[in-house]
Every structure is written in C-alpha cells, then in structure tokens.
Amino acid sequence: MNNIGLILSYDGSRYHGWQIQENLPTIQGTLQNAARKITKEPVNIIGCGRTDTGVHARHYVATFKTDCTIPIDRVPAALNSLLPRDIVVRDATVMVDGFHPVRSCIKKEYTYVVHNTRYPNPFYANYAHYHIGKLPIDTLQRAANHFIGEHDFASMRSLGTEVKSTVRHVYSFDVVDTEHGVDFVISANGFLYNMARTMAGTLLAVARGAISPDDIPEILESRDRSRAGATAPPQGLYMTNVIYR
C-alpha cells in the first residue's frame, strides 16, 4: 500500500474549514471524495492541521494510503479534474511508510494579511483583514519580538480542542511592510486553536494604542485570554509553509 503525499493550495472562503463536518462543505471532505473516485477505494485523507472556516492555505500537506497503481505524476491532474477550482493539488509524492503530516512536522508557518489603504478594496474582502488607522511597523515588530521563543501561549488561544500543553516555541514573527498594508508571518513548532489569529489581533491592538508592545511578556505570563487582543477575522489567515524532519 502506497502512502501518497499531496501538496495543495486552497481558497477557504466557501468552506467550513479543513475537517470533515456532516452536511457542510469542507476541504478534507471535498478532497477525500475526489481521491476515492480516482482510486475506487475508501481512502481517508489526513491533513497537516485544522484550518478554520474562511481560512486559506498557500501550502498545505495531506496524505492518503492506497493500493491504486495510477502513476504518481498523474495524481495531481487526476484529482484536479474532479476538484472545484478553489482547491488545487500542486504535487504528489510517494512517502515513506512512517511519514505522517502532523506527527512528522517540525515547523509550521502562517501569514496574516492586513489591508490598510485609504478605502477598503472589495476584491480583498475574503482574502485580507481591513484595518483603519496607522500601522507603525517598527512598533509592531518590537511587540512581535516578545512572542519569539518558548512560552506558554494560553493567553493567545480560544477554547476548543483540548491539548496536553499550551507551551509552544515560536521561531520567528516578522512584520512585513507591503504595498497594501502588512503581513504578519509567524513560524512555530505548533499552534493552539486561534493562536495565530489572536497574536495578529494583539498586534492590531498595539497599532491602535490599546496595548503597549512591552505589555506582551506580562500578558503571556498571565495566561489570561482577556488581556490579549481580539481574535482577528479568519479571512486574513493563510497557512504558508510546513517543514518536516
């Protein structure tokens, strides 16, 4: 049985997240239906993480096991012929048997896109968060730097999936000045539920002057969700990279 790895990109605007939900369109469910049609087997798709309703992915990794003998170089085209245009399989590879898209992962990267021109752009409505007011890049980067390292991120998550520990290691958090606003680019060994969106929302609170950049260490130490910024809306968030050992 082959362990097939897929790299895909998707627009999450009309989906209720990655994970299969009964009677609701999801990325996993749509991809799994296509994979079952080309293999003619009851395959199960496993993804590298859960993305929420409206969240996008530029680089996402999934796997499925199959006895189907379709040549691996034909798998992307075969799947794409059955998938809607907002989900695209970009590559397929036969993986080693022990590879798992979650357990083998050592680093994930998310990018949160903030649109900050004079007026909102209607074409960004589903793909960026519109922020009114100045975005002080240096101040935001100073705040972001406080997240780097190993911390307890309980104050940066929403209640949801239970986890054994709320400690995570953030490797980098870059505030990137763009033509239309800023990108918050965050890499870590793992993310808690809504962690990336809450970190983005906290930086936007810094931009408004509601939180000082140097308040971040105390907010993390408090483990108090109410002291952080609001959870930023989902449409600005993209999974942008996944690194494996």
Catalytic residue set: 52
Distance of alpha carbon 223 from alpha carbon 138, whole angstroms: 26
In whole angstroms, give the CA distance from residue 111 to residue 118: 22
Which amino acid is it at 160? G
Q: Tell me the sheet residues that pair with 152.
A: 167
Instruction: Determine how many CB atoms are found less than 10 A away from the CB of residue 141.
Output: 18
Q: Which among 157, 147, 143, 140 is positioned nearest to 223, based on CA atoms?
A: 157
3-state secondary structure 17-40: CCCCECCECCHHHHHHHHHHHHHC
Give DSSP secondary structure letters for 117-156.
SSS--GGGTTTSEE--S---HHHHHHHHHTT-EEEE-GGG
- Helix H or strand E encompassing 204: helix 195-208
